[in-house]
Amino acid sequence: MKKHIVLLPGDGIGPEVTKAAKGVLETIAEQFGHSFTFETHEIGGAAIDNQGTPLPEDTVAACKKADGILLGAVGGPKWDQLPSHMRPEKGLLGIRKQLGLFANLRPVKGFKSLLHASPLKEEVVAGSDLLIVRELTGGLYFGEPRERRNNGAEVVDTLAYTRAEMERIIDKAFQSAQVRRNHLTSVDKANVLESSRMWREVVEEKKQDYPDVHVEHMLVDAAAMKLVTNPAYFDVIVTENMFGDILSDEASVLTGSLGMLPSASIRQDGLGLYEPVHGSAPDIAGQNKANPLAAILSAAMMLRHSFQMNGEAELIEAAVNKVLEEKYHTADLNLTDGVQVSGSVLAKKVSEQM
Amino acid sequence: MKKHIVLLPGDGIGPEVTKAAKGVLETIAEQFGHSFTFETHEIGGAAIDNQGTPLPEDTVAACKKADGILLGAVGGPKWDQLPSHMRPEKGLLGIRKQLGLFANLRPVKGFKSLLHASPLKEEVVAGSDLLIVRELTGGLYFGEPRERRNNGAEVVDTLAYTRAEMERIIDKAFQSAQVRRNHLTSVDKANVLESSRMWREVVEEKKQDYPDVHVEHMLVDAAAMKLVTNPAYFDVIVTENMFGDILSDEASVLTGSLGMLPSASIRQDGLGLYEPVHGSAPDIAGQNKANPLAAILSAAMMLRHSFQMNGEAELIEAAVNKVLEEKYHTADLNLTDGVQVSGSVLAKKVSEQM
Ligand SMILES: CC(C)[C@H](C(=O)O)[C@@H](O)C(=O)O
Ligand SMILES: CC(C)[C@H](C(=O)O)[C@@H](O)C(=O)O
């Protein structure tokens, strides 16, 4: 198969982990006889520095024509004092919205050899394997009005959703549960929010179409507790944008593998933007120290969700597991035994396992 | 001193833990020569059953004239299917709003003898002692419009704040930090929300008035992570209503002492409503099994925050500590050694230590 991939390396360690992921994709192409072509564009701080905007038009145009998009990381203290429309994260919000990437998939799974780094007791976190499906282009993030009023004495933001926006993300979550363990937890605040009451109605309607999935409702405050006390309880969680932002970051630290977590932001037709959950880590940028595994696992998600290459995705995931079992690791993983290597060597080890 | 206290026992285990706390307050009155008078009113499910509304007018009227209010718990499956304006929690939201109880104080502190019940590793949770100051009468909870539109195809909720609402809660938080460890973490989502940008401005202005307090800003998603990875990092956290709801419940499970946590909802003039963080636990209601310590510690908060009786509050808190050190406990605390007793006996042990 022929696929065209846009690389958005971004800031900090973004370029080095993106390069590592690209290398693994090239190994896959060779082994399976695919043809992957690559095109690199700027986003975030790098784009601000070179083009005066966090999201240049040609970046958006290139992404619109791509089959898949791989992003490194955006942001850093260098751009923190800029006015808000000029901040690196505007690039991220902008590309999500302009491409209509409404479904954010955030899998959280413990790696046995890394569980010791979890803040949770081993018996609490063992067996955790969950997927957060976060709505990504609606709610408080984009609702209007969002403004000061009355000479600055008042302010409003708006949590707005259409029923259609709810339906498509809830469908996506039911479908995700069907290829996992058939257990869906819908998270809302229906005892306070009108939007949550509508959300609950849509879930109740949709569940008729997925009789094999066991679905339940949970309040967001209760979910924030249960993620800590019993993360293994969850299979798939679906929720609106802001709740998803908070819960997915809370979930990301549970297994002690934050540096290992991939994410996907996709839309109906399969186009998706894939990026590691970790940030741009400017303190270690350019030193070949950064852990490339989250970026590599993000590339695997691209193969699965945008290219329907499940076998290829599994091969990468198995290779990452093997490399960890052999205890190769970068400094961030804090392993006391095994061999500590550079980011590029770790990526090469993954390719060698495939 | 003469003080008039309204008791709102509510539902489930509410009545028994409220009774226990009342007993401890009577012991305090005797020992210090205070005169506490009590008056009991209905709220929540009990009020729905007997008066057809979760918040009867005479309950509100009595609370308005009180010096302090002690609430047990509201809610239970019995009332879960009622339409939303008739749900027990409407009583809670209503009384907060009608009395203007804008500041919710949620201290989370580990008890040494209970830390084994924490989901976190002991080295992660040790030393945690934080206070969440949550804005309680604004934001998404009460903002208008909150409605369906376009024949049910759309829905909005509104996150609304006035600058004055922000100022008073942020003042309260700075003052709370001053009597603690002088470290304030203001939590917002300023990279997305206009209301958060205003919140940040108000914090920056207010910090001039509290030069002894070290203040920092943290994004809500980062705070949700750091609460799990390093809870001992925090002293006082201040945030808006919905973020506070989520983070305070997340924080409540960190130390393994959910059944021990008190809370206060107060306003400028000192009137406050005090209640345990735990719920109504209908499964064990009426069996004298419920742990009364959170209600007792809530009564201690009332003495401190509404009656300025710091010595009396400390006496109660010390007595609770001693009882735990002697390993008296109710079944919920899951202690393998020590003496398991009923709720009323545990409350009596506290009084005996004073
Ligand atoms: C950078 C920020 C705007 C973004 C968000 O809140 O969506 C980030 O936290 C994320 O989760 O990808
Ligand atoms: C019952 C509910 C409306 C309430 C809230 O969200 O404020 C509760 O969760 C709380 O935190 O006291």
Closest residue, chain A, to B80 (C-alpha):
A191
Expressed in angstroms and rounded, the spacing between residue B75 Cα and the centre of ligand 2 is 11
* Active-site annotation holds for B209: no
pLDDT at A337 over 90: no
Strands B183-188 and A183-188: unpaired
Of B155, B190, B246, the CB nearest to A195: B155
Spatial neighbors of B293 by CB under 8 A, at least 6 apart, are B259, B260, B320, B346, B350
Expressed in angstroms and rounded, the spacing between residue B200 Cα and the centre of ligand 1 is 18
Per-residue H/E/C for A246-311: HHHHHHHCCCCCHHHCEEEEECCCCCEEEEECCCCCHHHCCCCCCCCHHHHHHHHHHHHHCCCCHH
**CA pair distance B20, B72, nearest whole angstrom:** 10
φ, ψ (nearest 5 deg) of residue B230: -155, 65
* Active-site annotation holds for B189: yes
One DSSP character per residue, A93-110 reads: HHHHHHHT--EEEEEEE-
**Residues B180-194 pLDDT 10s:** 999 999 999 999 999
- Domains along chain A with CATH numbers: 1-105+258-354 (3.40.718.10), 119-254 (3.40.718.10)
DSSP state of B129: E
pLDDT for residue B334: 79
pLDDT for residue B218: 98
DSSP state of A231: G
Spell out which residues of chain A touch residue B334, defining contact as CB-CB under 8 Å.
Answer: none
pLDDT for residue B85: 84
A282 appears as a binding residue in the annotation: yes
Q: What is the C-alpha radius of gyration for chain B, rounded to an integer number of angstroms?
A: 20
> What band does A110 get if pLDDT is binned at 50, 70 and 90?
confident
Mark yes or no for CB contact A84/B250 under 8 Å.
Answer: no
Provide the annotated binding site of B.
76-89, 96, 106, 134, 221, 245, 249, 279-291
Of ligand 2's listed atoms, the one at least distance from the Cα of B263 is: 12
DSSP reduced 3-state for A243: helix
**CA pair distance B188, A157, nearest whole angstrom:** 13
pLDDT for residue A151: 97
Spell out which residues of chain B touch residue A334, defining contact as CB-CB under 8 Å.
Answer: none
pLDDT for residue A288: 97
Which residue, B192, B193, B132, B187, is CA-closest to B159? B193
Which residue, A65, A17, A71, A74, is CA-closest to A45? A74
Mark yes or no for CB contact A194/B148 under 8 Å.
Answer: yes
> What band does A257 get if pLDDT is binned at 50, 70 and 90?
confident
Residue with tokens 């063992």: A126
pLDDT for residue B307: 98
Question: What is the number of CB-based contacts under 8 A between chain A and chain B?
Answer: 159
Sort residue A75 into left (φ over 0), alpha (ψ -120 to 50) or beta.
left
Partnered with residue A48 across adjacent β-strands are none
**Residues B21-78 pLDDT 10s:** 999 999 999 999 999 999 999 999 999 999 999 999 999 999 999 999 999 999 999 9
Partnered with residue B185 across adjacent β-strands are B216, B237
* Active-site annotation holds for B141: yes
pLDDT at A335 over 90: no
One DSSP character per residue, B168-235 reads: HHHHHHHHHHHTTTSEEEEEE-TTT-HHHHHHHHHHHHHGGG-TTSEEEEEEHHHHHHHHHH-GGG-S
* Active-site annotation holds for A3: no
CB atoms within 10 A of CB B322: 15
Expressed in angstroms and rounded, the spacing between residue A247 Cα and the centre of ligand 1 is 12
Q: Determine which helix (DSSP H) or strand (DSSP E) holds B265, and give its type and residue range.
A: strand B262-266
| % chain B with pLDDT above 90 | 92
Q: Of residues A19, A90, A141, A349, which has the active-site annotation?
A: A141
**CA pair distance B43, A269, nearest whole angstrom:** 51
> For B109, what's the count of Cα atoms within 13 Å in the CB-facing half-sphere?
14
Spell out which residues of chain B touch residue A89, defining contact as CB-CB under 8 Å.
Answer: 191
Average pLDDT for A69-77: 96
Pocket of ligand 1 (CB under 6 A): A 89, 92-93, 245; B 191-192, 221
Average pLDDT for B217-241: 98
A29 appears as a binding residue in the annotation: no
Mark yes or no for CB contact A242/B189 under 8 Å.
Answer: yes
**Residues B251-281 pLDDT 10s:** 999 998 888 999 999 999 999 999 999 999 9
pLDDT for residue A277: 96
Mark yes or no for CB contact B153/A160 under 8 Å.
Answer: no
* Active-site annotation holds for B249: yes
Expressed in angstroms and rounded, the spacing between residue B94 Cα and the centre of ligand 2 is 11
Q: Quote the pTM value.
A: 0.97
pLDDT for residue A241: 98
Of A158, A230, A250, the CB nearest to B158: A158
Of A60-69, A111-120, B140-149, the range with the lowest mean pLDDT is: A111-120
**CA pair distance B255, B194, nearest whole angstrom:** 34
> What band does A174 get if pLDDT is binned at 50, 70 and 90?
very high
